[in-house]
Amino acid sequence: MSVSTNGGCSCGNLKYSFDGEPVAIATCHCTACRRSTSSAFSTSLLVPASAFHPLAGTPSTYTRQGDSGSDVTDHFCPVCGALIYAISKSAPGLVFLKAGSLDDLSLNDTKFRPRVEIYY
């Protein structure tokens, strides 16, 4: 039986779950990821789209060009503005869940520690 992990935005408007384990967990330092998160890096859990389940709310979207040259669509809360996930044309079938959107943030220090770091 697959274990579900839950997450959402800071105001509770958007909620999601995903089944099983991420395909990868990566911290990216590219300019596009730093700008989209207003941080020095972005950590994402790469989850198969088939395992990702939106549970509540409708995200707003913004499409930008990633450093790879492919379009990346950010999905964020229209109420609090929290970036929840991104979908990249360069990685079809994957959802890039932002690690800070997990309900249980301690999972980022235990079960879902980044295994890859990308610098552009």
Whole-Å CA distances, 101 to 1, 45, 62, 85, 120:
24, 10, 18, 8, 24
Asked whether the predicted pLDDT for residue 42 surpasses 80, the reply is no
Backbone phi, then psi, for 66, in 5-degree steps?
-75, 170
Asked whether the predicted pLDDT for residue 85 surpasses 80, the reply is yes
Evaluate if pTM is beyond 0.85.
no
Asked whether the predicted pLDDT for residue 100 surpasses 60, the reply is yes
| 23-26: Cβ within 8 A, 24+ apart | 23/47, 23/48, 23/94, 24/115, 24/116, 25/99, 25/112, 25/113, 25/114, 25/115, 25/116, 26/114, 26/115, 26/116, 26/117, 26/118
What integer pLDDT is reported at residue 36 of this predicted model?
65
Asked whether the predicted pLDDT for residue 108 surpasses 90, the reply is no
Backbone phi, then psi, for 62, in 5-degree steps?
-145, 125
For residue 37, name the pLDDT band (cuts at 50, 70, 90): low
For residue 49, name the pLDDT band (cuts at 50, 70, 90): very high
SS3 category, 73: strand
Greater confidence (92 vs 67) lies with 92
| Reported CATH class of domain 4-118 | mainly beta
